[in-house]
Amino acid sequence: MKNFILKGDICYSKTINEICCSENSCLICENGKSAGVYREIPEKYKEYEVYDYSGKLIMPGFIDLHIHAPQFAFRGTGMDLELMEWLSVQAFAEEARYSDEEYACRAYGLFAQMLRKSVTTRACIFATCHVPATKILMDCMEESGIVSYVGKVNMDREAPDTLRESDAYQSADDTVKWLESISGKYKRTFPILTPRFIPSCTDELLSELHKIQEKYDLPVQSHLSENPDEIEWVRKNVPDSKFYGDAYDRYGLFGRGAKTVMAHCVYPVIDEVERMKENEVFVAHCPASNMNLSSGIAPVRKFIDNRIKTGLGTDIAGGHSISMFRAVTDAVQVSKLYYRLVDNTVKPLTFEEVFYLATKGGGEFFGKTGSFEEGYEFDAVVIDDGLYPLLEYMTVRKRAERVVYIDSEATGLEAKFVGGEKVV
Amino acid sequence: MKNFILKGDICYSKTINEICCSENSCLICENGKSAGVYREIPEKYKEYEVYDYSGKLIMPGFIDLHIHAPQFAFRGTGMDLELMEWLSVQAFAEEARYSDEEYACRAYGLFAQMLRKSVTTRACIFATCHVPATKILMDCMEESGIVSYVGKVNMDREAPDTLRESDAYQSADDTVKWLESISGKYKRTFPILTPRFIPSCTDELLSELHKIQEKYDLPVQSHLSENPDEIEWVRKNVPDSKFYGDAYDRYGLFGRGAKTVMAHCVYPVIDEVERMKENEVFVAHCPASNMNLSSGIAPVRKFIDNRIKTGLGTDIAGGHSISMFRAVTDAVQVSKLYYRLVDNTVKPLTFEEVFYLATKGGGEFFGKTGSFEEGYEFDAVVIDDGLYPLLEYMTVRKRAERVVYIDSEATGLEAKFVGGEKVV
C-alpha cells in the first residue's frame, strides 16, 4: 500500500488562474493517490510515514506531452538549421542508427536515466520506426519509474531510404507485431500510435493505422501545423484535406474516439481550431523547439480561450532542454513576444496559466494527474530551492516562480514520486 | 609572474564567422596575457606549469555588458509585468533598500559570489544611487576576481521619493564624492558614469554628468530604446532631441570621447543606428530581458551589418539568469523569431556569431579581451561537459554549442581565470 505523507511547502493548480500554495503543510498519499493537502495531519492519517521536506518546494510532477527519445543524443547541436533541413541533416540521420540494437540500448538507457532525474513524471514519447529499438525504449522507460506512452513511428514516404518503411502494409504489419509483442508486458509504459506527420505518411498508411487504432483502442500522437513550409507541403500534396488536421481526421486519427495529442499547432487555421475543440484533440505546445527551428509562436491564448486541451512539451531535440521548468518559462516568454510582435490584443500568458498547462493541463492526457486535488494520481517533485540562497522570507508562490525561472535545469530536484512510488 | 599553460579542448573566436577549435591543445598564459594556442608546448614555454584539463572545454571568459546588481535578489519573480510597471513594483522598490548598508553587504556579497561562479569574467554593472552601497558593491566585486565597471546610478526625476535624488546638483555632488572616495582603491574595479535612463534624468543632471565625465574621463552606461512606452515618453518629454540616443548625445554621454555602452536598443531609428556607428557606441543586447518585459527583439543583424560594436548582457533582473551561456542561446533563439515574425529577409544569428558577441564582441569594451589571440588578456573558463555524457566522439565545435545550450546555467564550470589569475 502506498500510504505516506510529504511535508514541505506545497504548490499546485486547481484552476488555470491560480496556484494554490500551502507553506509548511502536509500532502497525503493514500494508495497511490492524493488525499489532499492539510496544514496539520488529519487524525485518520496519523500512522502514515512522514517524509520531511520542510523548507523545500513540493509541486505536482510535470507532464511532457512531446519528446523524441532517439533525438536526445544530439540535443543542443546543429541548432542553426530550419525544420525541413534539420530533419534530414540531424533527426533522420540519427534516427537511422536505431536499427542497431546495441546503440539503442546505450542511447535509450541514457535518455531514460536523464528523464528520471528531471521533473517530468509522465511523457508522450516518439521512438523510431524500428520495432526492436522501440521495445528497448519501453523497457528503459518502464525501469525509470516514469509513466509514459511510447510510439513506434510510422513513415512510408519523404524520408531517407535508411528510415522509410517499404510500404504502408509493412509499416502496419510491423506496428501490429510490436503491439502484440508488448501486450501485457508493462505496468507503466503504454503504446501510442505514432504516424510521424502527414508529409511522411501516405493515405494507405493512414488508412491502415486507422484500423489498428480501432482494433487496439490506441491513443495517437503526431505533429500539426508546425512550420510554413511543412504546411504548404500538406496543402499541395493532400489537396482534398480542408486543412492540415483534416488530413488526420479523415482517417480517424484526430481525436474523437481516439485520444490524440498534436505537437506544435503554431499556425492553425480557424477551422482547425474548431475541429480540435470538437474532437477534443490535445495541443502539445513546444516553445523552445518553435524558436530553435524558426517555426514561430503558437497562439496558446487562443487555445485556452477556446477551451482546447493544452499542455507543454520539451520536443527534444527540436527543443534542447529536457527540463519542463524550462518549457514553462519559454512558454511565458514567447507569449510576450507574440503580444508585442504579432497581436497586441492578445495578453501574454501568466506564470499561473503556464504552470497549470505544464501540470494539470497536460496531465489530463493521462487521466487525473498533474494536481494534488483529492483523487489525483500521486505524482510529485520535491525541489530544494536553497541552492539559490534567499536573503529573507519569500512566499511559496514567489519561490515557485523563482525556482522555475532560475533553476531551469531543475538541479535542485531532491525527490520524485510517480503514482505514489518514489523514483528519485 | 602569471605564466602557465592550460591543456584541454580549446575554442575561441577570431572573427565573427568562425569558432577556432583546437582539440587536446595548449593555451599559454604569459604575464597575464594569452601567448596563443598550440598543439604542442613550444620550447620557450616548456618550464611553465601545466594545468591539465584534458577532455574539458576551454573558452574565453564571457563579457556581461549589462547587469543590475541590486536586482539580483528578486530575479525570477514578478515576471508577469511590463517594463514601466515592473520598474516601479519590482526594481525601484528593491533598490530603495540599498540605503541600508547592512542589507547591501549581504545582497551584494551574494551577488558577487554567484557571479564569481558563473562564466562571466568581466561585467558592466549598475548599482543604485546610494554612494555607501555602491562602494560596498565595488569592494565585493574587487574580491570576486572579476574585472568590472560599477556605476552609482543617477536619477533626479520619475522615481519614487525613496530613490529619487533631490536635484541634479546633489546627484552630481554625490557622484563626485563617490569618485573621489574610491580613487586608486581598486585594481580590477572601475567607476562608470551611470545616468539611469533619459526618463529619470533632467537636462540639468545630464549637463552636470557631462562635466564629470570630462573631468574624470569616465566611460558611460545607460539604457536606450528598450520599450515603446519608454521611447514615447522620451519623444514627448524631450521634444528637441532628434531621437532617444540624441538626448544623451547632446550632453556628450553617447560615445565619441566617452566610451559608452547602451543596453537594449530594441527599437533604434535609422538615424540612431547611424549615430551609434559614428560615435562608436556599444550595444548590450539583452534578449532574455527583452522577452521577460515584453519589450521585443533587438535587430542585432542590423548592428552587425552596420559594424556597430555589440555584445550581450544578462540584464539581471529584467533577465532572470546570471549565465552568459543562457544569453547566447536566447540571442540565437530570438533572432530566429525576428526572422520569422518581423522580417524574413533578415537571416537569424548563428551560434558562431553570438559566441563572438558574447566574448570578443563585448570584450572590446574592456580592451583586448574575449579571445585567445596573442596579446589578449588571459580570461578563460574551463567547462566539464562530461556532466552530460556523450555516446561517442563529438567535435569540439559541436561540444561547445551543446554545452552552451544544455548546461545553460554553466554548472559544469570547473575553473576560471581572469587576467591570468585563477579565481575559481
- Residues in chain B closer than 8 A to A333 (CB atoms): 288, 291-292
Q: Residue A241 above 80 pLDDT?
A: yes
**Distance to chain B for A181, nearest Cα, Å:** 28
Q: What is the pLDDT of residue A119?
A: 98
A336/B292 Cβ within 8 A: yes
The mean pLDDT of A42-69, rounded to a whole number, is 98
- Residues in chain B closer than 8 A to A409 (CB atoms): 406-409, 411
Q: Residue A283 above 90 pLDDT?
A: yes
A398/B78 Cβ within 8 A: yes
Q: Closest Cα to residue A182, out of A222, A211, A142?
A: A142
Residue-level pLDDT, tens digit, chain B, 424 residues: 689 999 999 999 999 999 999 999 999 999 999 999 999 999 999 999 999 999 999 999 999 999 999 999 999 999 998 888 888 889 999 999 999 999 999 999 999 999 999 999 999 999 999 999 999 999 999 999 999 999 999 999 999 999 999 999 999 999 999 999 999 999 999 999 999 999 999 999 999 999 999 999 999 999 999 999 999 999 999 999 999 999 999 999 999 999 999 999 999 999 999 999 999 999 999 999 999 999 999 999 999 999 999 999 999 999 999 999 999 999 999 999 999 999 999 999 999 999 999 999 999 999 999 999 999 999 999 999 999 999 999 999 999 999 999 999 999 999 999 999 999 9
**Distance to chain A for B204, nearest Cα, Å:** 34
Burial class (CB in 10 A: 0-12, 13-18, 19+), A46: exposed
Are the beta carbons of B260 and B282 closer than 8 angstroms?
yes
User: Which one of B406, B407, B409, B411 would you mutate to disrupt binding with A, by most A Cβ within 10 Å of its Cβ?
Assistant: B406
**Which residue does chain B place closest to A403, by CA atoms?**
B76
Quote the mean pLDDT of chain A.
97
pLDDT in tens, A174-205: 999 999 999 999 999 999 999 999 999 999 99
Concatenating the DSSP letter of every residue in A263-318 gives: EE-SS--HHHHHHHHHHTPEEEE-HHHHHHTT-----HHHHHHTT--EEE---BTT
A398/B77 Cβ within 8 A: yes
Are the beta carbons of A248 and A279 closer than 8 angstroms?
no
**Which residue does chain A place closest to B395, by CA atoms?**
A77
- Residues in chain A closer than 8 A to B401 (CB atoms): 76-79
What is the Cα B194 distance to its own chain's centre?
Answer: 14
Which helix (DSSP H) or strand (DSSP E) does residue A152 occupy?
none
Q: How confident is the model at residue A84 (pLDDT cuts 50, 70, 90)?
A: confident
**Which residue does chain A place closest to B401, by CA atoms?**
A77
Q: Any idea of the CA torsion for A386, A387, A389, A392, to the nearest 10 degrees?
A: -20
Rounded to an integer, what distance in angstroms lies between the CA atom of residue B408 and that of residue B396?
A: 17
Q: Residue A52 half-sphere exposure, CB side, CA atoms within 13 Å?
A: 1
Q: Which of A103, A340, A402 sits opposite B76 (nearest CB)?
A: A402
3-state secondary structure chain B: CCCEEEEEEEEEECCCCCEEEEEEEEEEEECCEEEEEECCCCHHHCCCEEEEEEEEEEEECEEEEEEEHHHHHHCCCCCCCCHHHHHHHHHHHHHHHHHCHHHHHHHHHHHHHHHHCCCEEEEEEECCCCHHHHHHHHHHHHHHCCEEEEECEECCCCCCCCCCCCCHHHHHHHHHHHHHHHCCCCCCEEECEEECCHHHCCHHHHHHHHHHHHHHCCCEEEEECCCHHHHHHHHHHCCCCCCHHHHHHCCCCCECCECEEEEECCCCCHHHHHHHHHHCCEEEECHHHHHHCCCCCCCHHHHHHCCCCEEECCCECCECCCCHHHHHHHHHHHHHHHHHHHCCCCCCCCHHHHHHHHHHHHHHHHCCCCCCCCCCECCEEEECHHHCCCCCCCCHHHHHHHHHHHCCCCCCEEEEEECCEECC
- Residues in chain A closer than 8 A to B75 (CB atoms): 402, 405-406
Residue B341 amino acid letter: L
User: What is the DSSP code (8-state) at residue A39?
Assistant: S
Q: Does A107 touch chain B (CB under 8 A)?
A: yes
Q: Does B273 touch chain A (CB under 8 A)?
A: no
Rounded to an integer, what distance in angstroms lies between the CA atom of residue A12 and that of residue A23?
A: 12
**Which residue does chain A place closest to B288, by CA atoms?**
A333
Are the beta carbons of A281 and A255 closer than 8 angstroms?
yes
Are the beta carbons of B138 and B182 closer than 8 angstroms?
yes
Q: Residue A1 above 80 pLDDT?
A: no
What is the Cα A354 distance to its own chain's centre?
Answer: 14
User: Which one of B229, B338, B340 would you mutate to disrupt binding with A, by most A Cβ within 10 Å of its Cβ?
Assistant: B340
Which helix (DSSP H) or strand (DSSP E) does residue A5 occupy?
strand A4-13
Rounded to an integer, what distance in angstroms lies between the CA atom of residue B384 and that of residue B57?
A: 6
Q: Residue A391 above 80 pLDDT?
A: yes
Q: Which of B77, B106, B402 sits opposite A77 (nearest CB)?
A: B402
Q: How many beta-carbon pairs below 8 A join chains A and B?
A: 135
Rounded to an integer, what distance in angstroms lies between the CA atom of residue B308 and that of residue A229?
A: 33
Q: Does A404 touch chain B (CB under 8 A)?
A: yes
| Phi and psi, residue A197, nearest 5° | -170, 170
The mean pLDDT of A3-14, rounded to a whole number, is 98
Are the beta carbons of A292 and A319 closer than 8 angstroms?
yes
Q: Does B39 touch chain A (CB under 8 A)?
A: no
**Distance to chain B for A360, nearest Cα, Å:** 21
- Residues in chain B closer than 8 A to A73 (CB atoms): 390-391
Q: Which of A320, A401, A406 sits opposite B405 (nearest CB)?
A: A320
**What is each CA distance from A299 to A231, A285, A324, A362, B368, in whole angstroms?**
16, 9, 19, 17, 45
Q: What is the pLDDT of residue A412?
A: 97
Q: List the 277-296 stretch of A: residues with Cβ below 8 A of B.
A: 288, 291-296
Q: Does B411 touch chain A (CB under 8 A)?
A: yes
Residue B389 neighbours by CB distance under 10 Å:
11
- Residues in chain B closer than 8 A to A321 (CB atoms): 405-406, 408
**Distance to chain A for B342, nearest Cα, Å:** 7
**Which residue does chain B place closest to A78, by CA atoms?**
B398
Whether the model pTM is above 0.95: yes
**Distance to chain B for A337, nearest Cα, Å:** 6
**Distance to chain B for A421, nearest Cα, Å:** 26
A402/B333 Cβ within 8 A: no
Q: Which of B78, B296, B391 sits opposite A73 (nearest CB)?
A: B391
Q: Are strands B220-224 and B260-264 parallel, antiparallel or unpaired?
A: parallel
| Phi and psi, residue A416, nearest 5° | -145, 135
Residue B388 amino acid letter: Y
The mean pLDDT of A157-175, rounded to a whole number, is 95
**Distance to chain A for B362, nearest Cα, Å:** 22
Extract the C-alpha cell encoding B67.
547587469
The mean pLDDT of A368-380, rounded to a whole number, is 98
End-to-end CA gap in chain B:
19
Are the beta carbons of A412 and A385 closer than 8 angstroms?
yes
Burial class (CB in 10 A: 0-12, 13-18, 19+), A289: buried
pLDDT in tens, B17-68: 999 999 999 999 999 999 999 999 999 999 999 999 999 999 999 999 999 9
Q: What sign results for the dihedral spanned by CA atoms A130, A132, A136, A141? A: positive
The mean pLDDT of A23-45, rounded to a whole number, is 98
User: What is the DSSP code (8-state) at residue A241?
Assistant: S
**Distance to chain A for B70, nearest Cα, Å:** 12
A341/B297 Cβ within 8 A: yes
**What is each CA distance from A364 to A35, A259, A261, A278, A352, in whole angstroms?**
18, 11, 11, 17, 17
What is the Cα B143 distance to its own chain's centre?
Answer: 19
The C-alpha R_g of chain A, in whole angstroms, comes to 21
User: How many percent of chain A have pLDDT more than 70?
Assistant: 100
B79/A405 Cβ within 8 A: yes
Rounded to an integer, what distance in angstroms lies between the CA atom of residue B42 and that of residue B48?
A: 10
Q: Residue B114 half-sphere exposure, CB side, CA atoms within 13 Å?
A: 22
Q: Does B395 touch chain A (CB under 8 A)?
A: no
What is the Cα A35 distance to its own chain's centre?
Answer: 25
Q: List the 313-372 stretch of B: residues with Cβ below 8 A of A.
A: 320-321, 326, 329, 332-334, 336-337, 339-342, 348, 350-351
